[in-house]
Amino acid sequence: MKTVEFHFDFGSPNAYLSHLVIPEIEQRTGARFDYVPVLLGGVFKATGNRSPAETLAGIRNKPDYEQLEMHRFIRRHGITKFQRNPFFPVNTLMAMRGAVAAARLDCFASYVDAVFGHMWAEPKKMDDATVYRAALLQSGLDAERISALIQTPEIKQALLESTERSVARGTFGSPTFFIGDEMWFGKDRLRDVEEALATAEDARTG
């Protein structure tokens, strides 16, 4: 089975939109997407990059076009559960450490679904510890165990190392995708990712 690495941060709306589309691609291609938590703030610091909210500020026309492309993507894939988070930008350190902790507790997939939903489907201020724990409880997750684990040096170090490895491979933002050493950035490159999967399959069977 071909594997695609999906390097993500919950704070990216484009990572969330990618997350909603990934099951369709897995079904069509038979590939599996392996979710890799990275801290976007750490990625930005390591690469000198900044968020689009900063880089597009004061630029005429381009921000409007970026919004148009997002709406096109949403329409193309029939996405109905997406709202702008009124608390954006949200500090995702707690949530991303929580993803690492959830993997240790064997509830990673449920955690990712839940936190993405609480960020972008029913937006909340997920960098508020009280709001964060309540959201996890609402989703049937063990909020106390996850909240305790994210305070441990092991979990903190694991997220740091995951972020550093991602940057070393070429990551500068989220979402980023890898098939082997080949990298694609952005939700709009998912078509190229799928094409690469199909090409690899054709080469294998041909």
Domain spans, the chain: 3-205
Do 62 and 56 meet the contact criterion of CB atoms below 8 Å apart? yes
CA–CA separation, 163 vs 1, rounded Å? 25
pTM of the predicted protein model:
0.93
Confidence grade of residue 13 (pLDDT, cut at 50, 70, 90): very high
CATH second-level architecture of 3-205? 3-Layer(aba) Sandwich (3.40)
Q: Is residue 162 predicted with pLDDT exceeding 60?
A: yes
* Residue tagged 């890898």 (tokens): 178
Mean pLDDT of the chain: 95
CA–CA separation, 25 vs 33, rounded Å? 9
Q: Which amino acid is at 186?
A: G
What pLDDT shows up at residue 201?
Answer: 64
48: left (phi over 0), alpha (psi -120 to 50) or beta: left
* Residue tagged 């305790």 (tokens): 148
pLDDT in tens, 68-104: 999 999 999 999 999 999 999 999 999 999 999 999 9
Confidence grade of residue 165 (pLDDT, cut at 50, 70, 90): very high
